[in-house]
Every structure is written in structure tokens, then in C-alpha cells.
Amino acid sequence: MTMNKLNWKEISPTDSEKGCVITLHGRGTSGEDLMPLANDIDLPNLRWIFPDAPFPFPDLLGGLMWYGSRTGNSNGILSSRKLLFDLLDHLIDEEGVPPEDIALLGFSQGAVMALDVALRYSKRVGALIAMSGFLATPEKLNKEKSLESLSVPILLAHGVEDEVVSVDGSREALKTLMDEGYTVALQEYDMGHQIVPEEIVHIREHLQSHLGLP
């Protein structure tokens, strides 16, 4: 499907729909890259949405990115934020999906965007999961966060051997989020910049618990 400049693919639930997961890919890939997660997590009541980032990644043909700066402090992140706000508005206002039934999940650069969007969106989403990411502009969070986001349950997940995005990014995010009053947990794994089965278990549990899934 397409909306404005944001394209996405979907995986429909195999049982009655009770939740929707917006899944954001990393730098240099596309939404399709994370589609196997739906099968791995294996929750039949979930609808999965896999948006493609709006900007081409210059170093890889066909690769995409949410923003260009490695730190996340760029105009690109503002443009991507607006597009993802529009996607949330579309789901809630036009399709009638309750915001509390929506989870944002991201990996790497997608995790940065998931955090950025969920903490600033005007409605409270049901759950937030950030894998191998960091807070792009922690110094701005105090002024920019939405009050509605303060009750969003947050799971951070990161590999201690990650050489692409240091685990310090999630550790620093944990401290900042706790200082701002969020309910947040950090799970660390003996892995690099990847997703492992133990992490899948924790993601499944987080979604089941906070989206009210069987």
C-alpha cells in the first residue's frame, strides 16, 4: 500500500485481529527485510505493517534509510517522523484501529524512529519495542515528549557485542527514559547487530502483555 510518500507491505492476522504492529527496518534495507519476524513471533491475532523508509541509501542499490546522519540529528528524521505520524493517523482515524492496539517495533535505525515517533505522538500507543537503537535527540525529549506517551510500556533490546550500534545507546536511553518518568526495561544479549531467539521470546511476551493478546 501507499500513502503520501510512504510505502508498506502487510501481513494479515490468521485469527481475529486484536492488534497491529508497525515494524521499522534498519538502514540500507527495506520493510520486506523484517517480514520474517511476523512468523518468528507467531501471534495469530496480529496485523503486521512493514513501511519502507522514504530516502534512498546511497551506498546500496535498492537500500533505504529513515535519515542520513548516523547520530539521528538531521532533517531526515523530522520528515520520517511526519510520515509515520501520518501512518498512525491513517490507521486510527480512517481505519478505526484503537491507538492502544498499535505497537511500534524497530530495529537499528528503525528502533531510533520507533522511539522518536512513539514518544512524541499525540495519542498513547499500546507498546514500544526498540532493538539495537538509541535516542536520537535525548536533550530534546523533555520538551518534545507527549504526556500521553508517558504510560507507553517500552522494551529496549540490544547485543553487548554490537559493533554497529553500541549497547551504550540503549543503556543511555534507559537512563534518560527512566529520568523522564517512562516505564522501560532493557534486555541485553550475548550477540552483535542481529536478532536472536531469546530476543524474539521477550518481544512476543511484551506484545502479548501490553496488547492484551492470548
What SS3 string covers 130-175?
A: EECCCCCCHHHHHHHCCHHHHHCCEEEEEECCCCCCCCHHHHHHHH
- pLDDT of 136 > 80? The answer is yes
User: Which percentage of the chain shows pLDDT scores above 70?
Assistant: 96
Q: Rounded to whole angstroms, how far apart are CA atoms 122 and 68?
A: 26
Q: Check pLDDT > 80 for residue 154.
A: yes
Reading the block at residue 68, the C-alpha cell is 542520513
**Model confidence at 74, in pLDDT bands (50, 70, 90)?**
confident
Sorting pLDDT into bands at 50, 70 and 90, what band is 72? low
4 pLDDT tier (thresholds 50, 70, 90): low
Residue 2 predicted with pLDDT over 50:
no
- Residue-wise over 38-57: b if at least 16 C-beta within 10 A, else e? beebebebbbbbbbbbbbeb
Cβ(114)–Cβ(50) below 8 Å? no
Query: What value does the mean pLDDT take over residues 133-158?
Result: 97
DSSP 8-class letter at 98: -
pLDDT of 181 strictly over 80: yes
| Grid cell locating 58 | 546511497
More reliable by pLDDT, 4 or 80: 80
Distance between CA 145 and CA 167 in Å, rounded?
23
Residue 169's pLDDT is what?
A: 98
pLDDT at 62: 81
**pLDDT tens digit string along 164-177?**
999 999 999 999 99
- SS3 of residue 77 by DSSP: helix
| Statement: residue 56 has pLDDT above 60 | yes
**Would you state the pLDDT for residue 70?**
67
**Domains assigned to the chain:** 2-211 (3.40.50.1820)
Residue 27 pLDDT > 60, yes or no?
yes
pLDDT value, residue 3 = 45
CB atoms within 10 A of CB 15: 11
- In this prediction, residues 82-92 reach a mean pLDDT of 97
User: What's the one-letter identity of residue 90?
Assistant: H
Average pLDDT along the chain: 95
pTM, whole model, 2 decimals?
Answer: 0.95
